[in-house]
Chains A and B, each alone.
Chain A
Amino acid sequence: MKSARRRPLHAYTLTVLTATITRIDRSAVHDGPGVRTVVFFKGCPLRCEWCHSPETQAASPAIALYHERCIGCGSCMAACTNAAVTFVDGRHGVLRSRCRVCGECGDACPSGAREVIGRVVSVDDVMDAIERDVVFYDQSGGGVTASGGEPLLQAPFVEALLKHCRERGIATAVETCGLAPSGALLSVAPWTDLFLFDLKLMDAVRHRRVTGRSNRQILYNLRLLASRHRNVRIRFPLIPGVNDDPENLAATGAFLSSLGVTQLDVLPYHRGGVAKYERLDRQYALLDLAAPSAEEVDGTIAALTRHGLDVRIGGLR
């Protein structure tokens, strides 16, 4: 993993396809059937307020700080060649305006308190990680999921990766927010066994307010995909007060029914991502929002079911 990041860019010729990813999770179980390896691509066009993986939003790498691990030893300061390391209250921080994300401080840190989020990889690099767990995919009906971030922002790479998987008999899934050029979506579709397609809000204005972008292209893409691909599951992040109102649930049900898409996973909002914002020195917008109660989740499921959908609870518990 490390060696891949440290490899200078010029080590790849122009003909080698590369992508920027945040990490590769093995033994994952929430993003498709069986035991899976999930590749998290970096960069996302949306800025959802509730996002639990903010480190994947920006396309470019950044330093994440695990403040609780820092012992204030100064190793990072000594390693930094650009005076981008700070020292406040016994803990080292980062001056993000100066930081060039070279990663030297992370290498030097003895306690694992600094980590570069985002590294450049080739298809071979990723395949090396994927192929390690083939026996587990075989036994569990699992496979690979391209997730993010938004994998379709790096569609040529995803297409090549999934093609490799298909050639090796490894099942594939793509988890997308849906906001990408339609051509990108269609380019990976032939190599994708399962799409996990996010559908957050039906109203374009409200969608723009909480994600920063309109949902017009998303809905267009979903309609397009539903007409071309047999295996699309909808992922519905249940954010209390944001998208669990009857109007939105009804509109969601009506839209999906019109597409003939019936499989939907409800992903109840959780606060698992709060610490990640701190690591990036970012503010979390929804500090006051509590996770939905079991009754609220059940109510939403019941409403969606009434609209003709086959609903399951998914995601992190």
Chain B
Amino acid sequence: MNARVERLRESSLRTAPSVSAERALLLTEFYEHAGPWSPPMMRAMAFRHLMERKTVYIGAGELIVGERGPEPKATPTYPELCCHSLEDLDVLNDRDKISYRVSGEVRAAYRERVIPFWKGRSMRDLLFAQMTDAWKAAYDAGVFTEFMEQRAPGHTVLDGKIFRLGFRAFQAEIRHAIAALDDLADPRAYDKREELRAMHVSADAIIRFAERHAERARELAAAESDAVRRDELERIAEVCGRVPAEAPRSFHEALQAYWFVHLGVITELNTWDSFNPGHLDRHLYPFYRAGLGDGTLTEEAARELLECFWVKFNNQPAPPKVGVTAAESGTYTDFANINSGGLTADGADGVNDLTYLILDVIDEMRLLQPSSNIQVSRKSPDRFIRRACEIVRKGWGQPSIFNADAVVEELLRQGKSLADAREGGTSGCVETGAFGKEAYILTGYFNLPKVLELALNDGVDPATGRQVGAPTGELAAFDSYDAVFAAFARQLRHLVEVKMTGTNVIERLYATRMPAPFLSILIDDCIANGRDYNDGGARYNTTYIMPVGIATVTDSLSAIRCHGFERRGVTMETLAAALRRNFEDDEVLRLRLWNKTPRYGNDDCAADAVLASVFDAVFNAIDGRPNPRGGEYHVNYLSTTCHMYFGSKVGATPDGRHAGEPVSEGISPVQGTDRRGPTAVLRSAARLDHTRTGGTLLNQKFAPEALQTAADLDRLVSLVRAYFALGGHHIQFNVVTAATLREAQADPERHRDLIVRVAGYSDYFCDLTKALQDEIISRTEHSVV
């Protein structure tokens, strides 16, 4: 990286995240004087209010411009969704990990303006008020989390449209759709007109936002004494004067156009998993080739622009989260996850020259954000995977690796067209989606070990004595393994339904009260349908539930089957009593369960068969059920940091896990119990039917010294190819030694740069909680590949 990029990167890394009250104050001011508009128009006018007034920031040396907050790392809040209390602000400021500086002014603004207006009116207040007692009991017991409690639905990715068309063209499309409305033939024409008008206003807002940057750049240029920088500022002014109103013509314009769109989406609402450009290598390739062809671009210039673009992502920490949301996703990363490679819409290999340049950029930048992944298909060249593995072995957790052919298969199973499936990919951590055409909303993690605990306790939570689930019997009374499993399956279905009753209400609350007209412009077919993204306007509408702890449940059921009913060494009464006491004075039993149970992750057919049965039970309880947006529920196996929170809510489990310890993450084996090497783990993981998911997450940890030689790298590539040949969806490698991690734990100051892959993302090791640090250290260290 050159001196400019180094300076920008350094500054981004050095700046501490803080809370900015600017957005909250502007929004409060707007709502205090708002007219009697329909919900979509209200949101569009609010968006315009923000985009016309928020601070325009152009930093020294920047080439790509625009910030979500008034300056880098200053994070806005969204009181219309979740209004932080003064205590919340204190927690954000004071907590050890993932803290945000909260100044006295911000606190005062909240005390005097924001809280008085929004208290009791935020979406969080509204939705909790609508939840049933059964939902609240399950939520409090840690059976599931609710993503929309503090953040808006979002979770989508862009296709290539903004690189082909400007927002003036989108506006023409919108006007065309309005003109075609017929109130007689279409009784919902009014709703559609309001929605479309709202989109039109939102397009004006983003165009105005860009123009303000052009104006600011011109002012700065006029005052600039350095001739080189003056030229740059004039070029920035020219670029911002054009995009995103018009279609981009150059590499620089294309990146800046996306960046304005990105800022628009994450300013309109604090959507989960921010937003991302999807197949960036493919979108930018025409501009790259044309620029190199006519001499207006060099590889070095493209690299510099990309690296400036990378820094912009890192300047935007995730919106500050509190409570359960902070526990389930304790990170600054906001999950913009850029895809490289994959397949084109007509099924050809998507890897191009720019793909390799982007991999270089990932390698050089080593930033937490954006996250990055490669999409590997049968057609991908080995060189592509090898280049990615070279970066992987440096040990900071990026890029993660996906099976593009499996992704296509998953999307086809969900009913997408072949072309839409091929243009799809993965976002957030591992979530499959049809880019530019799908609202695939994550609605919360689901605690499978807690379900098992309730199933074995007649629906009563042992931690509180409250009736949380359905009465499914007591562990001591089960007389066969099949009876145990049936109780688990029944409890699972019951609690999934409790979750869904809540989710369905929440989706309607967002559809009717908190539409997202700006985001709706970007996702097909919201304009054609005249419907909002949050109201089923997209071509495809998925609701994902993410089960966590499948390995913990599998091993627990395997333990019951093996020790209770096959070898008959342990009676159910004994086991139930031991679990109640958290294995106090039962260390012999606990060790037996921990060490002598057939476990998932060891290519053990008996254990893997239990896994398949749990997988089927989850699939049958969730998949295909209708959501309020005209789509379906699907299943997705990722856990972010939620396996820690869920573990804290679950008592001792029959696999010998103590109460409160983390449950397993993603589809990875229970921490430290895969003892037959990586090929056995991969074979076990591939026994899961990945095609019937919307993504699975498999973590493998390698010691760096096992990845030194060219032959080691070849073997890593072959492991990836082999796992994908077996149908695996995703694999990621943590390349660090436990010794290094322990050092980092003891001396964080000297290891602040240490990035590890936590689950579907990477994070600074020193920013993780002690418990999570311990957990990562304990993950089985494979030192053979």
Contact with B along A129-140 (1 / 0, CB 8 A): 000110110111
Contact B588 A73 (CB under 8 A): yes
Chain B residue contacts of A110, Cβ below 8 A: 588-592, 595-596
Chain A residue contacts of B711, Cβ below 8 A: 29, 33
Segment with Cβ contacts to A, from B236-244, B365-373, B716-724: B716-724
Segment with Cβ contacts to B, from A20-28, A150-158, A229-237: A20-28
B119 within 8 A of A: no
In the assembled complex, the Cα of A83 lies from the Cα of B714 at a distance in Å of: 52
Contact with A along B591-619 (1 / 0, CB 8 A): 11001100000010000000000000000
Least CB separation from A74: chain B residue: B588
Contact B595 A140 (CB under 8 A): no
Chain B residue contacts of A33, Cβ below 8 A: 711
Chain B residue contacts of A168, Cβ below 8 A: none
A34 within 8 A of B: yes
* 225-246 of chain A: CB within 8 A of chain B: none
When the two chains form the complex, which single residue of A35, A111, A132, A317 contacts B718, counting CB atoms closer than 8 Å? A35
Contact B722 A26 (CB under 8 A): no
Chain B residue contacts of A71, Cβ below 8 A: 587-588, 591
B86 within 8 A of A: no
When the two chains form the complex, which single residue of B592, B676, B718, B782 contacts A34, counting CB atoms closer than 8 Å? B718
Chain B residue contacts of A138, Cβ below 8 A: 722
Distance between A166 CB and nearest chain B CB, rounded to angstroms: 21
Chain A residue contacts of B591, Cβ below 8 A: 71, 110-111
Contact with A along B672-689 (1 / 0, CB 8 A): 000011111011000000
Residue from B591, B725, B726, B785 whose CB has the most chain A CB atoms within 10 Å:
B591
When the two chains form the complex, which single residue of B592, B596, B708, B719 contacts A35, counting CB atoms closer than 8 Å? B719
* 92-125 of chain B: CB within 8 A of chain A: none
B715 within 8 A of A: yes
Contact A27 B679 (CB under 8 A): yes
In the assembled complex, the Cα of A119 lies from the Cα of B782 at a distance in Å of: 25
Contact A136 B719 (CB under 8 A): yes
When the two chains form the complex, which single residue of B595, B603, B719, B784 contacts A132, counting CB atoms closer than 8 Å? B603
Contact B679 A139 (CB under 8 A): no
When the two chains form the complex, which single residue of A112, A136, A141 contacts B679, counting CB atoms closer than 8 Å? A136
Residue from A34, A110, A142 whose CB has the most chain B CB atoms within 10 Å:
A110
A262 within 8 A of B: no
* 686-733 of chain B: CB within 8 A of chain A: 705, 708, 711-712, 714-715, 718-719, 721-722, 725-726
Contact B676 A139 (CB under 8 A): no
* 278-317 of chain A: CB within 8 A of chain B: 317
In the assembled complex, the Cα of A139 lies from the Cα of B591 at a distance in Å of: 38
When the two chains form the complex, which single residue of B683, B718, B726 contacts A140, counting CB atoms closer than 8 Å? B718
In the assembled complex, the Cα of A73 lies from the Cα of B589 at a distance in Å of: 11
In the assembled complex, the Cα of A112 lies from the Cα of B714 at a distance in Å of: 35
Distance between A111 CB and nearest chain B CB, rounded to angstroms: 5
Contact A140 B715 (CB under 8 A): yes
Distance between A53 CB and nearest chain B CB, rounded to angstroms: 16
Least CB separation from B598: chain A residue: A2
Distance between B383 CB and nearest chain A CB, rounded to angstroms: 16
When the two chains form the complex, which single residue of B592, B708, B721, B784 contacts A27, counting CB atoms closer than 8 Å? B784
User: Given A29-B715, A29-B785, A139-B718, do A75 and B678 touch, yes or no (CB 8 Å)?
Assistant: no
Task: Count residues on chain B whose CB falls below 8 Å from chain A CBs.
Answer: 31
In the assembled complex, the Cα of A135 lies from the Cα of B588 at a distance in Å of: 39
In the assembled complex, the Cα of A301 lies from the Cα of B372 at a distance in Å of: 42
Distance between B135 CB and nearest chain A CB, rounded to angstroms: 41
* 113-165 of chain A: CB within 8 A of chain B: 132-133, 135-136, 138-142
Chain B residue contacts of A112, Cβ below 8 A: 595-596
User: Given A112-B595, A136-B722, A140-B715, do A28 and B589 touch, yes or no (CB 8 Å)?
Assistant: no
Contact A25 B677 (CB under 8 A): yes
* 17-58 of chain A: CB within 8 A of chain B: 25-29, 33-35
User: Given A27-B677, A71-B587, A139-B721, do A317 and B705 touch, yes or no (CB 8 Å)?
Assistant: yes
Contact B725 A135 (CB under 8 A): yes
Contact A35 B587 (CB under 8 A): no
Contact A35 B588 (CB under 8 A): no
Distance between B708 CB and nearest chain A CB, rounded to angstroms: 8
In the assembled complex, the Cα of A27 lies from the Cα of B679 at a distance in Å of: 6
In the assembled complex, the Cα of A71 lies from the Cα of B588 at a distance in Å of: 8
In the assembled complex, the Cα of A141 lies from the Cα of B719 at a distance in Å of: 11
In the assembled complex, the Cα of A204 lies from the Cα of B677 at a distance in Å of: 40
Least CB separation from A108: chain B residue: B592
Contact B677 A140 (CB under 8 A): no
Distance between A1 CB and nearest chain B CB, rounded to angstroms: 9
Distance between A154 CB and nearest chain B CB, rounded to angstroms: 24
Chain A residue contacts of B708, Cβ below 8 A: 317
Contact A26 B676 (CB under 8 A): yes
Distance between B558 CB and nearest chain A CB, rounded to angstroms: 15
Least CB separation from B726: chain A residue: A135
Least CB separation from A313: chain B residue: B709
When the two chains form the complex, which single residue of B589, B603, B677, B722 contacts A135, counting CB atoms closer than 8 Å? B722
Least CB separation from A33: chain B residue: B711
Chain B residue contacts of A73, Cβ below 8 A: 587-588
When the two chains form the complex, which single residue of A25, A27, A75 contacts B785, counting CB atoms closer than 8 Å? A27
Chain B residue contacts of A136, Cβ below 8 A: 679, 682, 718-719, 722
Chain A residue contacts of B705, Cβ below 8 A: 317
User: Given A29-B715, A35-B715, A71-B588, do A132 and B596 touch, yes or no (CB 8 Å)?
Assistant: no
Chain A residue contacts of B715, Cβ below 8 A: 29, 34-35, 140
In the assembled complex, the Cα of A56 lies from the Cα of B715 at a distance in Å of: 28
Contact B722 A27 (CB under 8 A): no
Contact with A along B511-525 (1 / 0, CB 8 A): 000000000000000
Chain B residue contacts of A141, Cβ below 8 A: 718
Chain B residue contacts of A135, Cβ below 8 A: 722, 725-726
Chain B residue contacts of A133, Cβ below 8 A: 679, 683
In the assembled complex, the Cα of A110 lies from the Cα of B563 at a distance in Å of: 12
Least CB separation from B656: chain A residue: A110
In the assembled complex, the Cα of A135 lies from the Cα of B715 at a distance in Å of: 12
Distance between B712 CB and nearest chain A CB, rounded to angstroms: 8
Distance between B608 CB and nearest chain A CB, rounded to angstroms: 11
Contact with B along A182-226 (1 / 0, CB 8 A): 000000000000000000000000000000000000000000000
In the assembled complex, the Cα of A132 lies from the Cα of B676 at a distance in Å of: 12
Distance between A19 CB and nearest chain B CB, rounded to angstroms: 21
Contact A111 B719 (CB under 8 A): no
In the assembled complex, the Cα of A111 lies from the Cα of B678 at a distance in Å of: 23
Contact A140 B722 (CB under 8 A): yes
Chain A residue contacts of B679, Cβ below 8 A: 26-27, 35, 132-133, 136
Chain B residue contacts of A140, Cβ below 8 A: 714-715, 718-719, 722
When the two chains form the complex, which single residue of A25, A28, A75, A142 contacts B588, counting CB atoms closer than 8 Å? A75
Chain A residue contacts of B589, Cβ below 8 A: 110
In the assembled complex, the Cα of A92 lies from the Cα of B705 at a distance in Å of: 36
In the assembled complex, the Cα of A141 lies from the Cα of B715 at a distance in Å of: 9
Distance between B136 CB and nearest chain A CB, rounded to angstroms: 41
In the assembled complex, the Cα of A141 lies from the Cα of B721 at a distance in Å of: 12
In the assembled complex, the Cα of A132 lies from the Cα of B605 at a distance in Å of: 11
Chain A residue contacts of B722, Cβ below 8 A: 35, 135-136, 138-140
Distance between B716 CB and nearest chain A CB, rounded to angstroms: 10
Chain A residue contacts of B590, Cβ below 8 A: 110
Chain B residue contacts of A111, Cβ below 8 A: 591, 595
* 755-785 of chain B: CB within 8 A of chain A: 782, 784-785
Contact B784 A139 (CB under 8 A): no
Q: Known pairs A71-B588, A133-B683, A139-B718. 5 more at Cβ < 8 A?
A: A27-B678, A34-B718, A35-B715, A73-B588, A141-B718
6 A-B pairs closest in CB distance: A27-B677, A140-B718, A110-B591, A110-B592, A139-B718, A139-B722
Please, could you name 10 A-B residue pairs with CB atoms under 8 Å apart, sorted by A? A26-B603, A27-B677, A28-B677, A29-B712, A34-B718, A35-B679, A110-B591, A135-B726, A136-B682, A140-B722
> Which B residues are within 8 Å of any A CB, using their own CB?
587-592, 595-596, 603, 676-680, 682-683, 705, 708, 711-712, 714-715, 718-719, 721-722, 725-726, 782, 784-785
